[in-house]
Amino acid sequence: MKDAAQLAPLVTGLAFALSFVFGYVANRVSFCTMGAIADVANFGDWRRLRMWLLAIAVAIGGAAVLQGMGLVDLSKSIYMGGQVAWVSHVVGGAFFGFGMTLASGCGSKTLIRIGGGNLKSLIVLIVMGIAAYMTLKGVFASWRAAGLDPWRINFASFGGKTSDLPSLVGAAGLGATARWLVPALVAGAVAWFVFADRDFRDAREMIVGGAIVGAVVVAGWYVSGHLGYLAEDPATLEEKFVATNSGRAESFSFVAPAAYLLELLMMWTDTTRVLTFGIAASLGMIAGSAAYALVSKSFRWESFASAEDVGNHLVGATMMGFGGVTALGCTIGQGITGVSTLAVGSILTLLAIIGGCLLAVRYQMWRLERMA
């Protein structure tokens, strides 16, 4: 029987390899949620948003297949608890969406930009990680726990064991059929919308990029939730998900892992601090993006343009750190990984992130008009 010490290198190594692919592809196709929303708001160009939605459709379908085959139990993730802290999801998502716009990209885009030589994004990562840690265990945590998290909806009162759409629809009368039917219908509807546009159908690189990102998220579930799962850890005689900071099944997310990355670097000699799935994924994202930047000869150093630029990025990074932890994820951690489970909290967070981003885009346009 394998133990946690034997599985940890496999889990973290595969997390790094998968995120390397993610970073390489995302840099090549300019995969960016903030950029996608801004394209629609400013130019009416839906192609990058459709690429992001394609990743969501693939992730929903793939996660449902893993669940249906009994390879992963998604209810053992952080997303599908019976109680949903809806205020935390809405407020955290809005903060994250607004902040990522000020900081020129979400958590994944920050890592991608670092790989391409963007020093602004390195500062964003550090500040975001500090703010995330403060929200996990510091002063922001007390505000979150006392002011936001207590506002909850108990989905057990609706008959659902977990707070995901298949469970709720199943409890409403569809039974076990809902476990595969609901994901199939949602993924199919999203895919239909994505490919209904002729311009996007002609954008083959974007199609491949979106499909790969979605598949990477599905593979992350398999690595953490299946390969890294121990039904009985010999050391504790309890079930264990190896090398995860949450202690549960995980796939890709890039806000809380930034905090744990800083913690690991600052407390390197503390043997209780170890490399985890999320930390390895963050490092792999940077490495994959750097590899593409070097291959394509697009690597270049970039820094701040002005004091206002510095201020925007610092404020945005702080909002991202607070919002990402409060909402339990970012545009990847909730927008794709969480939504792949069809959890109600993830859907709320996704909508709030989009709303916060649109508000920030309008704010930036207003600022530009005033300066003109």
Taking a C-beta distance cutoff of 8 angstroms, is the pair 51, 31 a contact? yes
Weakest mean pLDDT among 181-185, 271-275, 326-330, 350-354: 271-275
Neighbouring residues of 159: CB distance < 8 A, sequence distance ≥ 6: 168, 171, 172
Q: Which of the four pLDDT bands, split at 50, 70 and 90, describes residue 233?
A: confident
Cβ atoms within 10 Å, residue 96: 35
- What's the pLDDT score for residue 183? 96
Question: Measured in whole angstroms, how far is the alpha carbon of residue 363 from the centre of its chain?
Answer: 25
> In the prediction, which pLDDT does 2 show?
65
pLDDT for the residue numbered 150: 95
pLDDT digits (tens, 9 = 90+) for 153-210: 998 777 778 899 999 898 877 778 888 999 999 999 999 999 999 999 999 999 999 9
Instruction: Tell me the H-state helices in 138-276.
Output: 139-143, 165-169, 178-195, 198-201, 204-222, 256-266
pLDDT in tens, 45-76: 999 999 999 999 999 999 999 999 999 999 99
Q: What is the pLDDT of residues 84-110, one digit of tens each?
A: 999 999 999 999 999 999 999 999 999
Report the half-sphere exposure of 264 (CA within 13 A, side-chain side).
Answer: 17
Residue 281 pLDDT greater than 70, yes or no? yes
List pLDDT tens digits, range 1-30.
567 678 999 999 999 999 999 999 999 999
Q: pLDDT tens digit string along 106-136?
A: 999 999 999 999 999 999 999 999 999 999 9
Determine the pLDDT at residue 234. Answer: 76
pLDDT digit string, tens, across residues 300-318: 999 998 999 999 999 999 9
